[in-house]
Amino acid sequence: MTLKTTIGAMEMRNPVMTASGTFGYGVEYADLVPLDRLGAVIVKGTTLKAREGNDYPRMAETASGMLNCVGLQNKGVEHFAEHIYPAIKDIDTQMIVNVSGDSAETYALCAERIDSLEKIPAIELNISCPNVKHGGMAFGTDAKAAAEVVRAVRKAYHKTLIVKLSPNVTDITEIARAAEAEGADAVSLINTLMGMAIDAERRKLCLSIGTGGLSGPAVKPVALRMVYQTSRAVKIPVIGLGGISNATDAIEFMLAGASAIQIGTANFVNPHVGAEVADGIEDYMRRHKIGDIRDLVGALE
Amino acid sequence: MNEIQHKFQLKLAVAASEMLSERVAHIVLTDDRPLPAMRPGQFVQVAVPDGGVLLRRPISIHDISEADNTLHLLVQTVGRGTHSIASVKQGDEMDLVLPLGNGFPDMTEGRVLLTGGGIGTAPLLYLGRRLKANGCEVTFLLGGRTAKDILRREEYEAVARVMTTTEDGSDGERGFVTDHSLLGREQFDAVMVCGPTPMMKAVARWASVPCYVSLENMMACGLGACLCCVQKNHEGHNVCVCTEGPVFNTNELEWK
Ligand SMILES: Cc1cc2nc3c(=O)[nH]c(=O)nc-3n(C[C@H](O)[C@H](O)[C@H](O)COP(=O)(O)OP(=O)(O)OC[C@H]3O[C@@H](n4cnc5c(N)ncnc54)[C@H](O)[C@@H]3O)c2cc1C
Ligand SMILES: Cc1cc2nc3c(=O)[nH]c(=O)nc-3n(C[C@H](O)[C@H](O)[C@H](O)COP(=O)(O)O)c2cc1C
Ligand code: FES
């Protein structure tokens, strides 16, 4: 039986990845889950220049989910390359960097810097962050803007390029096709759904900037539908995420057409969930007599 | 304070659980194996039983007894999460991630004032016990709205001198902890505080010696991974309360 999964030129031991912004740089979880049981870790959103992010409060729990408006707080790509990369480069899983920007040029410059880091086999281009004023989601909600960013990055970056899509659109397949046409090796979806929470007693917005991105079990049906549609619209692999909390959720995404999956918010609830999902997928394959994980992808009856 | 400390996700047994007042539960947890070493001021992330809410809830370490291998929590019912946690029964199992955060400084000498209001007094018991054992001279100044809010007084008294204030004057001096006559009478080498933010700010304004506060920002991961729990420091940068705190020297904060 094999769980080996290939995305572009990158090989993973299994299809279980952790989602950007929910797993730090991996090391934060090292005591709680064996990182070598994961297919890949996608690290925090990284930008060309340091960003302070939005003010506190940055989160609010909602029914079966949570809103966040962290706003891409990070110390910039140079700090990542100089200080963080040396500490994570030998972790025994694929370490992927999530890249954000505010113009095609800053995305490309950030990607170019990461291209030079030998042990980073792939980047995930975040054109879908709902929590920053300039850029982010603006590039992921317009097919022309998305194409422009992917084109610029594709020129600057030579390894595996994953483009992360926003669900805050009328037709996600249109953006997926634009990314594919410009040379993306895979698309991942979904990023968070834009939402809001209000504290009735205090008559106040719960988040500092009012709106935030919804994640967790609440978004799963929306994500599953979008993965199903997108995997039928493009030929490149689709990486599915949104509300995955256990192996059954992960298998549903793979049946819908995802070649790999990511786990985000569930890491907060159960830091060990990544390893449990990997075990659960193996168990499912045994029970269903599936020898190669690839035979699970899109295998609806 | 700086030795490497590992984190664990453990299923602990509830050895006892009782309501100390209408809103506060005292939960005693234990395990067959020795509990990991924990520092005063650190906290645990509790998985909320029965799935009513999604995220874990951060709760301070109230006390540790190495003799009977127990971890004590005081939980005040606020919303759904804390209501579910407070209703656990003896024999139940609880899923915790621990120990988290930096903890209070491990002083080894001097006169230390430990003060808190309401549920904020929770971390002070273990802290006082540790500082006393280290050789510090400890004073507790516990505040509450009314006499019933002064929780587990005998346990604090067994460790060190206890002073109290209540807003209605039903226990100790009337007013807030910052109104207590002790503050005008005695000198301390350090002050450590936990309670509502306005109270901590008031104590910080009064204190002319190093003042440490324990913050209670809302958290998701508790591990330094999500950056949801941030607080602005004195340089205007966001720092994680769950890893760089919850305890801060007030000089490091954008306060006062
Ligand atoms: C490091 C740390 C240590 C803590 N130690 C203790 C402790 O020892 N004992 C204890 O009883 N509580 C403690 N708390 C506070 C406790 O975590 C919150 O009361 C709890 O998370 C609320 O969850 P809930 O589901 O009951 O309320 P929710 O339904 O989530 O919220 C109810 C109301 O409480 C507010 N609230 C939610 N979370 C917090 C929070 N973290 N701080 C302040 N207000 C909040 C919400 O804005 C809302 O108005 C601690 C918090 C932190 C960060
Ligand atoms: C606190 C938090 C921070 C996030 N930060 C990022 C980020 O920096 N870049 C990104 O592409 N997605 C980010 N996301 C989105 C997640 O990677 C993921 O797409 C989303 O949460 C849906 O998956 P989930 O339901 O499994 O959490 C963040 C999500 C959360 C909850
Ligand atoms: S709660 Fe996630 S970083 Fe502090």
At B256 the pLDDT is 58
Please work out whether the CB of residue B224 comes within 6 Å of at least one atom of ligand 3. yes
| pLDDT category of residue A46 using cuts at 50, 70 and 90 | very high
Please work out whether the CB of residue A136 comes within 6 Å of at least one atom of ligand 2. no
**What pairing do the DSSP bridges indicate for beta strands A211-215 and A65-68?**
antiparallel
| pLDDT category of residue B3 using cuts at 50, 70 and 90 | low
Tell which one of B56, B227, B247 to mutate to probe ligand 3, the residue whose CB is within 8 A of the most ligand atoms: B227
| pLDDT category of residue A218 using cuts at 50, 70 and 90 | very high
Residues of A with CB under 8 A from a CB of B: 21-24, 28-29, 31-32, 44, 52-53, 55-61, 64-66, 68, 70, 73, 216-217, 265, 267-272
Q: Residues B91, B120: one domain? A: no
Whether omega for the bond prior to residue A167 falls within 30 degrees of 0, making it cis, is no
Mean pLDDT, range A56-74, rounded to an integer: 97
What percentage of chain A's residues is helix, strand, coil (to nearest 5)?
35, 25, 40
Beta strands in B118-157 (DSSP E): 137-144
> What token pair was written down for B138?
């400890």
Q: Which of B66, B100, B134 is the last residue of a domain?
A: B100
In a domain, B246, yes or no: no
Tell me: pLDDT of A129 over 90: no
In a domain, B77, yes or no: yes
Please work out whether the CB of residue B183 comes within 6 Å of at least one atom of ligand 3. no
Q: In chain B, which among 197-256 make CB contacts under 8 A with chain A?
A: 217-218, 220-232, 236-238
Domains and CATH numbers, chain A: 5-54+71-194+215-296 (3.20.20.70)
Q: Which CATH number fits the domain that encloses residue B180?
A: 3.40.50.80
At A135 the pLDDT is 63
In a domain, B221, yes or no: no
| pLDDT category of residue A131 using cuts at 50, 70 and 90 | confident
Q: In chain B, which among 102-161 make CB contacts under 8 A with chain A?
A: none
At A130 the pLDDT is 73
Mean pLDDT, range B146-170, rounded to an integer: 96
Rounded (10°) CA dihedral A45, A51, A57, A61: -10
Please work out whether the CB of residue B218 comes within 6 Å of at least one atom of ligand 3. no
**Distance of alpha carbon A284 from alpha carbon A3, whole angstroms:** 12
B56 neighbourhood in chain A, CB within 8 Å: 268-269
**Distance of alpha carbon B87 from alpha carbon A62, whole angstroms:** 22
In a domain, B203, yes or no: yes
CA separation, residue A297 to residues A72, A292, A294 (Å): 32, 10, 5
Please work out whether the CB of residue A166 comes within 6 Å of at least one atom of ligand 2. no
Q: How far is the CA of A57 from the centre of ligand 3 (A)?
A: 12
Q: How much is the pTM?
A: 0.96
Q: Residues B186, B156: one domain? A: yes
In a domain, B237, yes or no: no
Please work out whether the CB of residue A242 comes within 6 Å of at least one atom of ligand 2. yes
Q: How far is the CA of A264 from the centre of ligand 2 (A)?
A: 6
B78 touching chain A per CB within 8 A? no
> What token pair was written down for A7?
């995305």
Closest chain A residue to B98, measured at CA: A32
Q: Which of B100, B124, B151 is the last residue of a domain?
A: B100
Which of A132-146, B50-64, B156-170 is predicted least confidently?
A132-146
Query: Residue type for B163, please?
Result: M
**What pairing do the DSSP bridges indicate for beta strands A160-164 and A186-189?**
parallel
> What token pair was written down for A25?
């740089």
Please work out whether the CB of residue B139 comes within 6 Å of at least one atom of ligand 1. no
**What pairing do the DSSP bridges indicate for beta strands A122-126 and A94-99?**
parallel
Residue of A69, A110, A129, A206 marked active site: A129
Tell me: pLDDT of A239 over 90: yes
Q: Which of B52, B80, B100 is the last residue of a domain?
A: B100
Give the single-character DSSP code of A41.
Answer: E
Structural domain boundaries enclosing B27: 8-100
Tell me: pLDDT of B1 over 60: no
Tell me: pLDDT of A133 over 80: no
Q: Residues B64, B129: one domain? A: no
- Reply yes or no on whether A129 is catalytic: yes
| Mean pLDDT for chain B overall | 96
Mean pLDDT, range A47-70, rounded to an integer: 97
B238 neighbourhood in chain A, CB within 8 Å: 52-53, 56, 73
In a domain, B220, yes or no: no
B9 neighbourhood in chain A, CB within 8 Å: 32, 270-272
Q: How far is the CA of A208 from the centre of ligand 3 (A)?
A: 16
ipTM value of the model? 0.95
What would the pLDDT profile of A226-237 be if each residue is shown by its tens digit? Answer: 999 999 999 999
Q: Residues B137, B66: one domain? A: no
In a domain, B222, yes or no: no
From the list A32, A217, A267, the residue facing B7 with the nearest CB is A32
> How much of chain A exceeds pLDDT 90, in percent?
95
In a domain, B46, yes or no: yes
Q: Whose CA is nearest to atom 15 of ligand 2?
A: A191
| pLDDT category of residue A179 using cuts at 50, 70 and 90 | very high
Q: Residues B38, B126: one domain? A: no
Closest CA to A139 of A149, A154, A152, A153: A149
Q: Which CATH number fits the domain that encloses residue B49?
A: 2.40.30.10
Split into its structural domains, chain B has a count of: 2
B57 neighbourhood in chain A, CB within 8 Å: none
Closest chain A residue to B49, measured at CA: A269
